[in-house]
């Protein structure tokens, strides 16, 4: 379960606060996954006490934009901390998808990778297994073309144009996978839509925790 | 007590170095206590008391089997705010108050009603959440009994204790802050969260 409570002394109406919160959910709390399971209790409440001086009335104003950016930062920070505490996690993984034909497709691909047990266990095993990423893209249901697909780990491109990049360094890729924080990037080469989501690896510890703790 | 308390999990290797220094937010105070909802000897209930005049927004899981607390919060956010009313948030760990039929709303009503009475605010402005085991009736009387202690402990600086009280399999409390400079002084933001498993939110 994810529970989030954010407090601010901003002076803003409930309607405007709700608009700001709603449009920042997609890039924060709805852009994370630990185990692809959704709780029955997930809740976010944002409370603005109105004690700070200037009222935020116009959502197009500079002050409103600055407030929204700050609130968005807090939301994303908390969302990432939830992933960092993913049960049994030893790796924090950012999945960046670009070049999708639509926003929906970009999200499908990103979450197919982020929720893939095979990708997540490869990360746990420090294996730069780009083949599992190919499989996740393929199963996602999004439009994809094998021969346009580009896959990277960190700043290394491991596969493109339907093939393994012939001269990529397996030693360098393996060394990269030892980092605690990893970036998996996929360019679909079809359009301009993009989506970034965050996940963690899947380790033996996840099973230990969920076999022990009966909640 | 020691025998009843499960061994704490090691802290995640991905955890931040420390809980951040969160600013006090004028108009909010916090308290946490050990009510023994599921395990003895650990804080498991937090209360936030909110002064009149606050605006509240929310987002909740769209799960079709969402809990009584979620349904109650959604209904209350849609209501007109009574003039001059304060508000409160009460959260327990240890029991999710989910999938217990009508008993779920009975527990929500008992807890939020008791908070409303203690803080002299309308029950329609008391928002509750529960996290933990699913399918067991919430022993809400333990939370109700703890409300006096929670009220007595309310303090503007209590947000970290609140973050700790809502942990379940979490290995660290989560907090974040930001500030916006304005000519009339800063706008402060402080947030807390819990979450570690069953995480693939579909909030709206």
Cross-chain Cβ contact B187/A73 below 8 Å:
no
8-state DSSP, B121: S
Cα–Cα distance measured from residue B23 to residue B1, given in angstroms and rounded to the nearest whole number: 34
pLDDT value for A208: 87
* Chain B contact present for A94, CB below 8 A: no
Total residues found in chain B within this entry: 204
Mean pLDDT value across residues A47-72: 96
Q: What is the band of B1 on the pLDDT scale with cuts at 50, 70, 90? A: very low
Residue labelled with tokens 């022993």: B139
Q: Residues 37 to 56 of A: which have CB under 8 A from any B CB?
A: 37-54
CA distances from A58 to A5, A66, B55, B178, B188 (A): 24, 12, 16, 21, 19
Ramachandran class of A86: left when φ > 0, alpha when ψ lies in -120 to 50, beta otherwise: beta
Q: Are the C-beta atoms of residues A49 and B50 closer than 8 Å to each other? A: yes
The answer on pLDDT for B8 being more than 60 is no
The answer on pLDDT for B123 being more than 60 is yes
The answer on pLDDT for A91 being more than 50 is yes
Which of the residues B56, B88, B163, B197 would you substitute to probe the A interface, choosing the one with the greatest number of A C-beta atoms within 10 Å? Answer: B197
CA atoms within 13 A on the CB side of A17: 25
Cross-chain Cβ contact A213/B186 below 8 Å:
no
Q: Residues 99 to 128 of A: which have CB under 8 A from any B CB?
A: 115
Cβ-Cβ pairs closer than 8 A, A with B, add up to 296
Which of the residues B10, B12, B126 would you substitute to probe the A interface, choosing the one with the greatest number of A C-beta atoms within 10 Å? Answer: B12
pLDDT value for A213: 58
Cross-chain Cβ contact B63/A53 below 8 Å:
no
pLDDT value for A194: 98
Per residue in B79-115, pLDDT tens? Answer: 999 999 999 999 999 999 999 999 999 999 999 999 9
3-state secondary structure chain A: CCEEEEEECCEECHHHHHHHHHHCCCCCHHHECCCCCCCCCCEEEEEECCCCCCEECCCCCHHHHHHHHHHHHHHHHHHHHHHHCCCCCCCEEEEEEEEECCHHHHHHHHHHHHCCHHHHHHHHCCCCCHHHHHHHHHHCCCCCCHHHCEEEECCEEEEECCEECCCCCHHHHHHHCCCCEEEEEEECCCCCEEEEEEEECCCHHHHHHHHHCCC
* Chain A contact present for B186, CB below 8 A: yes
Kindly report the number of other CB atoms within 10 A of residue A164's CB atom: 13
CA distances from A16 to A12, B56, B58, B200 (A): 7, 10, 12, 27
* Chain A contact present for B58, CB below 8 A: yes
The answer on pLDDT for A1 being more than 50 is yes
Cα–Cα distance measured from residue A137 to residue A131, given in angstroms and rounded to the nearest whole number: 10
Per residue in A6-59, pLDDT tens? Answer: 999 999 999 999 999 999 999 999 999 999 999 999 999 999 999 998 899 999
**Pair of tokens at residue A48:** 């603005």
Distance from CA of B161 to the nearest CA of A (A): 13
Is the ipTM of this structure higher than 0.90? yes
The answer on pLDDT for B13 being more than 70 is yes
* Chain A contact present for B64, CB below 8 A: no
Q: What is the band of B5 on the pLDDT scale with cuts at 50, 70, 90? A: low
pLDDT value for A211: 80
What positions of A carry a catalytic annotation? 1
- Residues facing residue A7 across a β-bridge: A47, B190
What mean pLDDT value characterizes chain B?
A: 95
Q: Give φ, ψ of A172 to 5 degrees.
A: -65, -40
The answer on pLDDT for B2 being more than 80 is no
Cross-chain Cβ contact A78/B187 below 8 Å:
no
Nearest by CB to A85, which of B70, B87, B196?
Answer: B196
Mean pLDDT value across residues B151-178: 97
**Pair of tokens at residue A160:** 């493109």
Nearest by CB to A8, which of B6, B61, B188?
Answer: B188
Per residue in A147-162, pLDDT tens? Answer: 999 999 999 999 999 8
Q: What is the band of A210 on the pLDDT scale with cuts at 50, 70, 90? A: confident
Per residue in A119-173, pLDDT tens? Answer: 999 999 999 999 999 999 999 999 999 999 999 999 999 999 989 999 999 999 9
CA distances from A73 to A6, B15, B20, B31, B123 (A): 12, 18, 14, 26, 32
**Cα torsion through B21, B24, B29, B34, rounded to 10:** 10
Contact residues, chain B, for A47 at CB < 8 Å: 28, 48, 50, 54-56, 87, 89
pLDDT value for A215: 47
What mean pLDDT value characterizes chain A?
A: 96
Nearest by CB to B57, which of A14, A79, A209?
Answer: A14
- Residues facing residue B29 across a β-bridge: B49
Cross-chain Cβ contact B66/A40 below 8 Å:
yes
The answer on pLDDT for A212 being more than 90 is no
* Chain B contact present for A35, CB below 8 A: yes
The answer on pLDDT for B7 being more than 80 is no
**Pair of tokens at residue B68:** 């009584």
Q: Are the C-beta atoms of residues A200 and A84 closer than 8 Å to each other? A: yes
């Amino acid at each position: 379960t994810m529970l989030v409570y954010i407090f601010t002394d901003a002076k803003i109406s409930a309607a405007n606060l709700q608009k700001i919160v709603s449009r920042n959910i997609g890039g924060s709390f709805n852009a994370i996954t630990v185990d692809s399971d959704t709780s029955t209790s997930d809740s976010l409440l944002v409370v603005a006490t109105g004690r700070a001086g200037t009222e935020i009335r116009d959502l197009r104003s500079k002050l409103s934009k600055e407030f929204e950016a700050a609130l968005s930062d807090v939301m994303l920070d908390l969302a990432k901390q939830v992933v960092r505490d993913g049960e049994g996690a030893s790796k924090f993984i950012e999945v960046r998808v670009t070049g999708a034909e639509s926003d929906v497709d970009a999200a499908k691909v990103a979450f197919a990778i982020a929720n893939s047990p095979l990708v997540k266990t490869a990360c746990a095993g420090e294996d730069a297994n780009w083949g599992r990423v190919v499989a996740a893209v393929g199963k996602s249901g999004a439009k994809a073309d094998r021969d346009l697909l580009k896959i990277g780990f960190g700043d290394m491109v491991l596969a493109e144009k339907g093939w393994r990049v012939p001269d990529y360094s397996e030693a360098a890729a393996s060394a990269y996978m030892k980092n605690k924080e990893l970036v998996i990037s996929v360019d679909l080469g079809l359009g301009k839509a993009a989506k970034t989501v965050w996940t963690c690896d899947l380790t033996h510890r996840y099973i230990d925790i969920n076999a022990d703790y009966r909640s | 007590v020691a025998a009843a308390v499960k061994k704490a999990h090691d802290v995640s290797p991905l955890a931040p170095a420390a809980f951040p220094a969160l600013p006090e937010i004028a108009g909010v105070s916090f308290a946490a206590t050990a009510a023994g909802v599921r395990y003895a000897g650990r804080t498991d209930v937090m209360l936030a008391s909110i002064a009149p005049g606050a605006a509240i927004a929310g987002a909740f899981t769209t799960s079709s089997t969402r809990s009584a607390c979620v349904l109650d919060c959604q209904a209350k956010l849609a209501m007109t705010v009574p003039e001059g009313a304060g508000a409160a948030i009460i959260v327990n760990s240890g029991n999710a108050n989910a999938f217990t039929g009508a008993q779920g709303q009975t527990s929500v009503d008992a807890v939020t009603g008791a908070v409303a009475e203690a803080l002299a605010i309308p029950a329609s402005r008391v928002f509750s959440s529960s996290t933990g085991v699913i399918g067991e009736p919430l022993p809400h009387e333990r939370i109700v009994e703890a409300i006096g202690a929670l009220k007595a402990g309310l303090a503007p600086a209590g947000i970290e204790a609140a973050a700790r009280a809502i942990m379940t399999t979490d290995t660290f409390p989560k907090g974040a802050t930001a500030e916006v400079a304005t000519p009339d002084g800063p706008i402060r933001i402080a947030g807390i969260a819990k979450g570690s498993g069953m995480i693939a939110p579909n909030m709206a």
